[in-house]
Chain A
Amino acid sequence: EVQLVESGGGLVQPGGSLRLSCAASGFTFTNYAMSWVRQAPGKGLEWVSTVSGRGTSTYYADSVKGRLTISRDNSKNTLFVQMNSLRADDTAVYYCARDRLSMTGDWYFDLWGSGTLVSVSS
């Protein structure tokens, strides 16, 4: 079965760190770029970060640049994001998503995990 399963969420104090993981199965992981997308409680979706299939290229939203680091271990079919200097406005459900390149040259998300909740509060 093709699926993505996130883990690692939890409650963390402001300024703290957290590492999220996403286990992929059912497809050739290294063939796909992967992303993190988050959703604050009651709010919309926000793209956070993307890593290329080989892990050599990374991209970040301005809101997280310098605080989050995306990476992947293709030998273990796992995506990561290291989150440092966390703030209250980082509180969200973090989704792992598979990237697909369209015929028109756009990158979009064609498969999503169920998400993991990160709460930043003292």
Chain B
Amino acid sequence: SYDLTQAPSVSVSPGQTARITCSGDASPKRYVYWYQQKAGQAPVLVIYEDTKRPSGIPERFSGSSSGAMATLTISGAQVEDEADYYCYSTDSTKNDRVFGGGTKLTVL
């Protein structure tokens, strides 16, 4: 089965840039989606198709992808960005829908 690997935790001070990575297979190309889950809440989509930001998501959230690695970048992280972040990808030919293990972002 397809696996996505994330670091368990990332910590930054307020105003710093947080980078959360997600690694998978480089081939075939799979687009990555990012979900933010605050404590006790449902996940919220923050990035889709590697780099696109849904309406209502602050501009400080951005996504990038190169080879087997996708990165969620939070420029000028704020205390309210503290959450678990999950990458997600899919292989529609195999009906395979996979989440990474999640990264806990601490902002303090």
**A residues touching B (Cβ–Cβ < 8 Å)?**
35, 44-47, 50, 59, 61-62, 95, 102-110, 112-115
Contacts and interface: CB of A to CB of B under 8 A. Distances in A.
With most chain B CB atoms within 10 A of its CB, the pick from A44, A50, A62 is A44
Nearest to A101: B92
Interface stretch (B16-24, B66-74, B75-83, B99-107): B99-107
A112 B42 contact: yes
With most chain B CB atoms within 10 A of its CB, the pick from A102, A105, A106 is A106
Given A45-B86, A112-B42, A59 B33 contact: no
B31 A114 contact: no
Contacts, number: 60
B61 to A, nearest CB: 16
Interface of B: 1, 30-31, 33, 35, 37, 41-45, 48-49, 54, 86, 88-90, 92, 95, 97-102
A119 to B, nearest CB: 17
B86 A107 contact: no
A87 to B, nearest CB: 20
A108 B92 contact: no
B92 A112 contact: no
B95 A108 contact: no
B99 to A, nearest CB: 4
Contacts of A114: 41-42
B45 A108 contact: yes
Contact of A108 (B1, B37, B88): B88
Contact of A112 (B1, B43, B90): B43
A45 B92 contact: no
B99 A47 contact: yes
A44 B35 CA distance: 11
Given A45-B86, A115-B42, A108 B48 contact: yes
